[in-house]
């Protein structure tokens, strides 16, 4: 095929250093790409051969870590998961993710996002402390119970859903699809007993009721997680509980296992 | 500059519809039609006997019909109906909120919207003239 040979493509890249620059600027680079070159490869090529001051964040290069989410031709995409020639465009516009504070160039700051994530307690909450400290077995899960949350557990926290969300664009306090998906992942887990503890954050003005179901989060998700579905199911659970008074108590059977032994130390300040 | 550093899309973010799914466009129209209806409602409260008349009536009918039908779709989907059950994410991903029943529902409400608007336009334009 003719795409095996290298083609020169123009990259328009967003350059901005908040510490020194007054306003952002667009810089253009010409890069030779072939059919296997990803946007991340091209950016690294620019950094190595043309401009070492270009700042990017990446890690795994295979759509697992979620570090290289950016606006490629005005849409949220993972740079490592997007081939340049598949974009079918002579000019590739690369900018940092929208709705996040810019650290430099294409690097955005997720600290606010992770700070907000603490509100929904993204971990399994249980009350049988003795079993947690001195485990004697494993909790039983059926295939159906697993299917209830496994899709939402695939989230790699790339933050692209929050960037695509039109509500996040205007409401900085909105938890956003990523965090609400995280909340639903644990709420729907049969082992988790922390629904009551998460209600305050979720059932609020900036929680799941803020969503307007534009479904852009699900459109841009690179892992098939479908955060929009998680938010709607979260609402369904809240309505069931508040309006219809239905709450399904979780009872997880413990399967004793002889080989599970050992005492866990309490972390400092944990109660 | 803080505004560049903040990098927030603001209201312009609502109107970025071309690169996302059709639900995004429906969302923007839902908001705009809602604002339109509220503006009409204010005028209507001040001058109860006033109504736009002719093509104004048609526009008002379009706003109200769209807002109602799409609102019914949202009532269903936002309570977890017709968006599919959670399943394993297997590539190529088919997300329940963007495929299947939800999309059929969207097409159905858009078809109903066209039919209702045509009937309403006939009532608002042709019958008074005749």
Domain ranges of chain B: 2-129
Query: What residues are paired with A32 via a beta bridge?
Result: A8
Rounded CA gap, B77 and B70, in Å? 11
pLDDT tier at A135, thresholds 50, 70, 90: confident
- The chain B residue lying nearest A19, using CA atoms, is B1
- Selecting from A101, A224, A239 the residue whose C-beta is nearest the C-beta of B91 gives A224
pTM of the model: 0.92
Mean pLDDT of B56-74: 95
Give the CATH superfamily of A112-242: Alpha-helical ferredoxin (1.10.1060.10)
| Res. A271: pLDDT tops 60 | no
pLDDT at A1 over 60: no
Spatial separation of the C-alpha atoms in residues A1 and A252, rounded to whole Å:
56
Contact present, A127 and A108 (Cβ < 8 Å): no
Q: Is A242 on the interface with B (CB under 8 A)?
A: no
What's residue B77's pLDDT? 95
**Which residues in chain B are contacts of A164 at CB distance < 8 A?**
20
Q: Residue A191 corresponds to which tokens in the numbers above?
A: 């082992």
Put simply, the answer to whether B87 touches A147 (Cβ < 8 Å) is yes
Residues from chain A contacting residue B103 (CB–CB below 8 Å) = none
The domain spans of chain A are 2-109, 112-242
Average pLDDT over residues A126-144: 87
Question: For residue range A238-260, what is the model confidence (pLDDT) as tens digits?
Answer: 999 988 888 777 888 888 877 66
**Residue A3 confidence class, pLDDT cut points 50, 70, 90:** low
What interhelical angle do B101-121 and B55-77 show, nearest 10?
A: 160
CA angle A94, A96, A98 (to 5 degrees): 120
Query: Which of B70, B79, B80, B81 has the alpha carbon at shortest distance from B107?
Result: B70
Residues 98-117 of A with CB under 8 A from B: 98-102, 108
Q: Closest Cα of chain B to A24: distance in Å?
A: 7
Q: Write the pLDDT tens digit of every residue in A160-177.
A: 999 999 999 999 999 999
CA distance A69 to A160: 6
**Would you place residue A261 in the very low, low, confident or very high pLDDT band (cuts 50, 70, 90)?**
low
CATH 3.10.20.30 fits A2-109, yes or no: yes
Q: Class of B2-129 per CATH?
A: mainly alpha
The reply to whether residue B95 touches residue A228, judged by beta carbons under 8 angstroms, is yes
Residues A67-95 have pLDDT tens digits of 999 999 999 999 999 999 999 999 999 99
Q: What is the mean pLDDT of chain A?
A: 92
Q: Exposure string (b/e) for A203-214, b if CB count within 10 Å is 16 or more?
A: beebbbebbbbb
Residue closest to A37 by CA, chosen among A87, A76, A74: A87
B14–A166 C-beta distance less than 8 A:
yes
């Amino acid at each position: 095929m003719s795409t095996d040979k290298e083609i020169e493509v123009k990259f328009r890249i967003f350059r901005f250093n908040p510490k020194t620059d007054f306003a952002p600027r667009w810089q253009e680079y010409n890069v030779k790409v072939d059919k296997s070159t990803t946007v991340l490869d091209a950016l690294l090529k620019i950094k190595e051969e043309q401009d070492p001051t270009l700042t990017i964040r990446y890690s795994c290069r295979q759509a697992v870590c979620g570090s290289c989410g950016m606006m490629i031709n005005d849409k949220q995409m993972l740079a490592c998961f997007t081939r340049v020639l598949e974009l079918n465009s002579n000019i590739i516009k690369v900018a940092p993710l929208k709705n996040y504070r810019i650290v430099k160039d294409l690097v955005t700051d997720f600290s606010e996002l992770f700070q907000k994530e603490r509100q929904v307690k993204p971990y399994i909450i249980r009350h049988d402390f003795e079993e947690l400290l001195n485990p004697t077995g494993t909790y039983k899960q059926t295939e159906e119970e697993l299917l209830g949350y496994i899709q939402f557990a695939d989230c790699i926290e790339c933050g692209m859903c929050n960037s695509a969300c039109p509500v996040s664009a205007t409401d900085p306090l909105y938890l956003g699809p990523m965090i609400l998906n995280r909340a639903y992942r644990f709420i729907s887990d049969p082992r988790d007993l922390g629904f009551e503890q998460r209600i305050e954050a979720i059932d609020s003005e900036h929680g799941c009721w803020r969503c307007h179901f534009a479904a852009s989060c699900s459109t841009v998700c690179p892992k098939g997680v479908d955060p929009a579905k998680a938010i709607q199911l979260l609402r369904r659970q809240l309505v069931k509980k508040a309006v219809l008074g239905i709450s399904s108590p979780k009872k997880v059977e413990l399967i004793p296992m002889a080989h599970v032994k050992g005492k866990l130390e309490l972390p400092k300040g944990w109660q | 500059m803080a505004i560049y550093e903040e990098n927030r899309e603001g209201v312009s973010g609502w109107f970025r519809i071309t690169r996302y799914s059709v639900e995004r466009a429906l969302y923007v129209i839902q908001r705009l039609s809602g604002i339109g209806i509220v503006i009409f409602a204010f005028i209507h409260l001040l001058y109860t006997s006033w109504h736009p008349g002719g093509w104004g009536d048609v526009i008002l009918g379009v706003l109200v019909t769209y807002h109602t039908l799409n609102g019914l779709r949202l009532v269903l989907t936002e309570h977890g109906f017709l968006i599919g059950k959670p399943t394993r994410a297997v590539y190529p991903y088919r997300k329940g909120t963007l495929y299947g029943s939800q999309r059929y529902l969207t097409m159905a409400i858009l078809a109903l919207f066209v039919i209702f608007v045509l009937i309403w336009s006939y009532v608002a334009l042709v019958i008074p003239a005749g």
